[in-house]
Amino acid sequence: MRFMILIRANARFEAGIGPAGERAAAFAAYLREMKAAGVLIESASLLPSADGLRLTYSQAEGPPAMTAGPFCDAEGQVAGYMLLEADSEREAYAWAAGMPDPYGFGEGGIELRRLRDTAVPPFAASLNPIEADLRDQIGALRNSHE
């Protein structure tokens, strides 16, 4: 199962103040441990929202509205992410819970989210083979009339 750990931004991150010293060393050791265990697929840090753009869709048709950063909702921003492969939700939680505080001031926050498996539609597990075949036939008929 694939999971993403989202590292939440805070005011220090948005001001361009990243982890340093012991905090940076602890975080680097954590990433090395994940790599050695074969769990870490990818990780990256983002720049503060001052370097970002926000696109919002307020209409069903037409182009999105664009707003240049910085964005005032620092805690709603993402500072970085890690993509990992785990055998279970429990294992993914254990890796997430083992992460050192990203900022070291008791201001860190992360979110653990499971990635949707795009190889299998979310409803497929609940279908028996006859239902799946009927859905495929209905889809083919709809596509042939478009």
Residues near 43 by beta carbon (within 8 Å), at least 6 away in sequence: 31, 80, 81, 82, 83
Pair (31, 97) in one structural domain: yes
Check residue 138 and give its pLDDT: 82
- Specify the 3-state DSSP secondary structure of 8: strand
Residues of the domain holding 133: 121-146
Do 20 and 124 form a contact (C-beta atoms < 8 A)? no
- The verdict on 64 and 129 lying in the same domain is no
Based on the fold, state whether residues 126 and 101 are members of the same structural domain: no
pLDDT at 132 over 60: yes
Q: Are residues 110 and 130 in the same domain?
A: no
Mark whether 102 and 133 lie in a shared domain: no
Q: 6 - beta bridge partners?
A: 81, 111
Residues 127 and 110 in one domain: no
Query: For 40-91, how does the pLDDT look when each residue is reduced to its tens digit (9 = 90+)?
Result: 999 999 999 999 999 999 888 889 999 999 988 877 899 999 999 999 999 9
b or e along 77-98 (b: 16 or more beta carbons within 10 Å of the residue's beta carbon)? bebbbbebebeeeebbeebbee
Residues 93 and 139 in one domain: no
88-121 pLDDT per residue, tens: 999 999 999 999 988 777 777 999 999 997 765 5
User: For residue 14, which phi and psi values (nearest 5 degrees)?
Assistant: -65, -25
- Asked if 70 and 125 sit in the same domain, the reply is no
Do 88 and 131 share a domain, yes or no?
Answer: no
- Number of folded domains that form the chain: 2
* CATH code for the domain of 73: 3.30.70.1060
Beta strand spans in 36-117 (E):
40-45, 53-56, 65-68, 78-85, 110-114
12 touches 101 (CB < 8 A)? no
Structure tokens, 140: 């083919």
Same domain (yes/no): 94, 142: no
- Report, as an integer, the average pLDDT of 119-145: 69
pTM of the model: 0.74
Number of Cβ within a 10 Å radius of residue 65:
11
Q: What is the mean pLDDT of residues 5-13?
A: 92
